[in-house]
Amino acid sequence: MSVQDLVDHGRIAPPLDPRKRFLRLTERNVVGYVRAWPILLTGVVEPFLYLLSIGIGVGALVGDITYAGRQVPYETFVASGML
């Protein structure tokens, strides 16, 4: 069974031109992102909350870090490690 047979029998949609494929893909992604906004939001907010809590909580206990003869704030040290 060929692709053309499947198209003729209505089992798959006929191929679209590149512009329509791009628009359809973009529409599909936007719909997916709108439905999944809590997941996207937590994916962005959670690292900042983690950095804030570690930076304030542990940073108050640890203080600055000496690296290559320079003082680096603990928040900066942890943030670069999280990347």
At 16-45, the pLDDT tens digits run 788 888 998 999 999 988 988 888 888 889
Ranges of each domain in the chain: 1-35, 36-83
Is the pLDDT score of 58 beyond 90? no
What is the model's pLDDT at position 29?
Answer: 92
Top-confidence residue, 12 or 57: 57
Residue 1: pLDDT band (50, 70, 90) is low
Q: 59: buried, middle or exposed (CB in 10 Å: 19+, 13-18, 0-12)?
A: buried
